[in-house]
Structure formats: C-alpha cells, structure tokens
Amino acid sequence: MKRALVAAVGLSVLSGCAYLQQFLRASFREPTFTFKNMVLNDVSLGGLNLDTVWDLNNPNNVGISLAAVDYALFIENKQVVAGHPENGLQLAANGSSELHFPANIKFQDVAGVVETFLTKDLAAWRAEGSIGVQTPIGVLKFPMAKEGQFEVPKLPAIVFGNPRVTNISLSGATVEFPLTVTNKNTYALPIAVTGNLAVAGSNVGSISTGNLGAMEGKGAKQLSVPLTINFLSAGAAVVNAVRGGNAQVAFNAQVQSGAQTVPLRVDQLVSFVR
C-alpha cells in the first residue's frame, strides 16, 4: 500500500513537472540576438580599441542570464585577444541588453611592422562564435557572425609656410617656421611631431610641435616654431636663402602617437621673408 502511494505521488510530481515545462515552453517567447554596431576608440598610430556591440532582446517578463560565451575576433585574418561579458550576467526582462566584446589591437601584432600596416586604407575585421543564455526553459544558444572594415589611421599631413626672419646678424638669424598639421583621419588622433630640419641640404637644427593632444578628425592646427640658425655652420646656400631667397627644406620627423613613433619626411620649397 505504501509503495503504491509513493508511486502515485511520484507520478503526480513528474506529471506536474512535465505540465510545468510544457506551460513554460508555451508561454516563453524566444529572445533575439543581433549585431548592433562596431565602435572604435583610443585610436593611435600604434593601435586601437575595437568593440563589437550586440543586442539581446528579451520579450519575456522574467530576467535571463548569460550562461556561456565563445567569441573570436580576427583582424586581417589574424586572431587577436578579445574580451567578453562574464558568465552569469543578468539580462533585462521586457527589453534589450547590450553585450560588448572589446579588443585592444596593436598593429604590430597584426602586421609585424607598424609602418606596413599604416599603408592600408582599410583593414578587415571578423567576429564569430556563439553565446548561451540561461532561460526558464533551459540554455538557448545564439550564433555570432559579423564582418566589416575599419579605417586604418594615417600619418598627419605637414605643410610649411614661408619662414619669417625675425632677427638677423652677421653670425646668424632667428627664423619662425610656420607649420600646418592636419589630421587626415575621420576620428581623433593624438599627435606630436619632432625632428631635424635641413635648409638647402644643410642641417640647421631640430624643431618640435610639442604635444598637440588628440586632434579632432580632419582637424588642422597652425603653429609657428622658432629656430636659431648659425651661419658659421650652415653654409653659404642657407645664408643666401635666409637673407631673402628660396630654398628647399627637408624635415626628417618622428610622429609620436600614443606609445608609437613613426617616421615622416617632408620636402618643400619655401621663400624666406623678412
């Protein structure tokens, strides 16, 4: 008699659980998981942060949680280290939750030589994998697959204006060299430029823009950099140019952007004015 009672209770519980599962499956609406956008930030000539953002929409009035993540990010078909949300993350009921998968990309890790990577106009990225979401009806799995391109950062453009001689003597002169530095990218880029300057083939000293900060996309800054030129070491061609003539200037510069330094050479004909 007792065994029969226990069996009856067991069957009743199992029947109740089966009914509950059936009810949950009938009433639970499956969430949707879609790619939202890709965001670039902290861009420099040495690398950037690339964040793929995904939307998980939960149309149910109960919360769900992230149970598993399998995510891979490739830049130019080379896998890079990427982060992802932690398992157990609670996702909102009756609404959308953003899931971020950030990656800090160093161009040297992708191409080996930064200067080689910077010659590209665009670079390809690809995200793939899946996420698992814990729900009242069990773990649901959603695939992740998206690819695109991003704009590779470019070196700034540097253009000299006509140098202005502010002081001149028999032994030398002080010359103001006007410079326009332009960020050719559509996004902000930290820039500082320094290097050796040659006039008419003779090295006359070094000039620097100082730290220009994060220059806005397509933004330009104009500045004037003073330099004292010693006539005794400069040569006759430099002396003649400074006294009111034309000369070729060559700027062998180093562009500092974030932790990366990249060489840049500028050659230009200028007219010295007083």
What is the architecture, at CATH level 2, of domain 157-271? Sandwich (2.60)
Longest CA span, the chain = 123
Pick the CATH number of 29-151 from 2.60.40.10, 3.30.2350.10, 3.40.50.300, 1.20.900.10: 2.60.40.10
Name the segment(s) of the chain with CATH classification 2.60.40.10: 29-151
Closest CA to 65 of 44, 88, 86: 88
Closest CA to 47 of 120, 101, 112, 114: 114
Name the segment(s) of the chain with CATH classification 2.60.40.1820: 157-271
Q: How far apart are the first and last CA of the chain?
A: 117
Name the β-bridge partners of 269: 248
Q: What angle do CA 237, 242, 248 make, to 5 degrees?
A: 60
Prediction pTM value: 0.84
d(CA 174, CA 235): 16
Per residue of the chain (274 residues), what is the pLDDT tens digit?
Answer: 555 544 444 545 445 555 545 545 557 899 999 999 999 999 999 999 999 999 999 999 998 999 999 999 999 999 999 999 999 999 989 999 999 999 999 999 999 899 999 999 999 999 999 999 999 999 999 999 999 999 999 999 999 999 999 999 999 999 999 999 999 999 999 999 999 999 999 999 999 999 999 999 999 999 999 999 999 888 899 999 998 889 999 999 999 999 999 999 999 999 999 8
Name the β-bridge partners of 168: 173
Closest CA to 67 of 31, 38, 103, 94: 31
